[in-house]
Chain A
């Protein structure tokens, strides 16, 4: 079932001469994990925000094309309506803490109170998401007393409590240490396995390559590639366009360690297999 349908999306921020998005089209099926990669200023954040309607409703500016997410035409609905079906998690854990609540437990309630959810339902949902993100034992702590990774998981929990069908994350691990990054990727993968559709913009291409079902490559507001990781990272033009590729993929390309379908390994495990085989060939 198609859960996201973007058709020829074009957008220009007010007071900018160049469009931030210049005719992006793609569609996403339910339960997929989509990675969005590309150099800075390529439109990744803009696209993430366009999926929930912040672009254009928050910034104004000029928009064209169509964005359908979870059955809603995003341009025809207000942000708070779209956000009942699509959640967005931002880069900075700190600024996602509302500041109005003094415990982790109450922080999750913030969005639920705004959306007018009944109290019993609130209690049920808060416990569910806090346990899901491994934060239940911290429920009485002040949100600002958490570590970066914990705060980011709290931001995810707060958005999940609104029970969206789609979760969009905009470079959620950029301010986290490796352990925090792993926590976030693990949590997101779990959600995906349970049927959530996930879209994540990231610089950490090695992790995206390992977990994403498909990868969308943006460059100067245009979509230049969209497909399974191995297919996308096999392209020759990515480094010249400033798009990072996993180091093991680069290595395999230079050594000619190609997979039968013409692509190269994108994870260490795949590369090890190829490497073992290659050495086996030499030894025999």
Chain B
């Protein structure tokens, strides 16, 4: 059990190496701010959604998109009502008037929001976090840093389980955990104390166990699994980087 939203699969996206997917996500987020106009933004969104679809996770992403739609609606409402550049009315509902300029700005902001979300979902849903970390460690990120990131993913669910045991132990000593907010707040310290100390002790014990497996030797690590970079990955990287360069150049010239 670990803390990760990764959805395993065998699509062309899954078979891309993690670094390529990282490039895709980072470039897409930068493009969001560089691309002019609505059509370009919409096109970028369509591309990201297409990637998610071919990874088989589009359906899974829907709740996330719905979740941020509240923010998107806020953009429309707020900008539509009170954007300083508002001039031409678009829609009147009783006493309130929404203006064209504000609504269009709301659209632009919403597109940005959804684009950033779609880009990062490619990374979160379609990339195995430990593969991503290993990919970075291969390229020079200190392996100790990589270890911390990956271990935390497994340790958090473990700590959640420990919390359950701690709560049981304190309840068995007569501590009330249900009831008023005040009751539950009072229960906080008897729960947090043991969680913190047992986590610290476990950390020290684990550090010792890691030491005897060579963790702090400063040798260049080797890797059990080979990194497989499919040939088309280079094409994908080139495509995204080219789009980025073109967009920046276009902005500069135009």
A193 to B51 alpha-carbon distance, docked (Å) = 57
Given A106-B224, A112-B224, A144-B158, A90 and B143 contact (CB-CB distance below 8 Å)? no
Collect the chain B residues with CB atoms within 8 Å of residue A234's CB.
Answer: none
Collect the chain A residues with CB atoms within 8 Å of residue B160's CB.
Answer: none
B113 to chain A, nearest CB (A): 33
Q: Are B217 and A78 touching (Cβ within 8 A)?
A: yes
Collect the chain B residues with CB atoms within 8 Å of residue A129's CB.
Answer: none
Which residue of chain A has its CB nearest to the CB of B201?
A: A95
Collect the chain B residues with CB atoms within 8 Å of residue A99's CB.
Answer: 150-151, 154-155, 158, 206
Q: Are A98 and B2 touching (Cβ within 8 A)?
A: no
B215 at the A interface (CB under 8 A): yes
Q: Are A162 and B208 touching (Cβ within 8 A)?
A: no
A79 to B207 alpha-carbon distance, docked (Å) = 12
A244 at the B interface (CB under 8 A): no
A122 to B213 alpha-carbon distance, docked (Å) = 14
A99 to B159 alpha-carbon distance, docked (Å) = 12
B234 to chain A, nearest CB (A): 24
A54 to B216 alpha-carbon distance, docked (Å) = 12
Collect the chain B residues with CB atoms within 8 Å of residue A118's CB.
Answer: 222
A116 at the B interface (CB under 8 A): yes
The count of residues in chain B whose C-beta lies closer than 8 Å to any C-beta of chain A is: 32
Collect the chain B residues with CB atoms within 8 Å of residue A123's CB.
Answer: 224
A166 at the B interface (CB under 8 A): no
Query: Chain A, 87-106, contact with B by CB distance < 8 Å: what is the 0/1 string?
Result: 11010101110111110001
In this complex, which of B130, B147, B202, B215 has the most chain A Cβ atoms within 10 angstroms of its Cβ? B215
Q: Are B2 and A80 touching (Cβ within 8 A)?
A: no
Query: Chain B, 109-151, contact with A by CB distance < 8 Å: what is the 0/1 string?
Result: 0000000000000000000001000000000000100010011
B212 at the A interface (CB under 8 A): yes
Collect the chain A residues with CB atoms within 8 Å of residue B224's CB.
Answer: 106, 109, 112-113, 119, 122-123, 126
Collect the chain A residues with CB atoms within 8 Å of residue B208's CB.
Answer: 49, 54, 58, 90
Question: B205-228: which have CB < 8 Å to A?
Answer: 205-217, 219-226
Collect the chain B residues with CB atoms within 8 Å of residue A133's CB.
Answer: none
Question: B160-198: which have CB < 8 Å to A?
Answer: none
A96 to B207 alpha-carbon distance, docked (Å) = 9
A162 to B209 alpha-carbon distance, docked (Å) = 13
Q: Are B210 and A98 touching (Cβ within 8 A)?
A: yes
| A interface, size bucket | 35 or more
Q: Are A117 and B222 touching (Cβ within 8 A)?
A: yes
Collect the chain B residues with CB atoms within 8 Å of residue A80's CB.
Answer: 211, 214-217, 219
Collect the chain A residues with CB atoms within 8 Å of residue B210's CB.
Answer: 98
A57 to chain B, nearest CB (A): 8
A104 to chain B, nearest CB (A): 13
Collect the chain A residues with CB atoms within 8 Å of residue B147's CB.
Answer: 98, 100
Q: Which residues of A contact B (CB under 8 A)?
A: 49, 52, 54, 58, 78-81, 83-84, 87-88, 90, 92, 94-96, 98-102, 106, 109-119, 122-123, 126, 142, 144, 155, 158-159, 162
Would you give 9 A-B contacts (Cβ < 8 Å), ordered by A?
A78-B216, A94-B202, A99-B150, A99-B158, A114-B217, A114-B219, A114-B221, A126-B224, A159-B213
Instruction: Give me 14 other A-B pairs in contact (C-beta within 8 A), A96-B206, A99-B155, A100-B130 excluded.
Output: A79-B216, A80-B211, A80-B219, A83-B212, A94-B202, A95-B202, A95-B206, A100-B150, A102-B130, A106-B225, A118-B222, A119-B222, A119-B224, A162-B214
Q: Which residues of B contact A (CB under 8 A)?
A: 1-2, 130, 143, 147, 150-151, 154-155, 158, 202, 205-217, 219-226
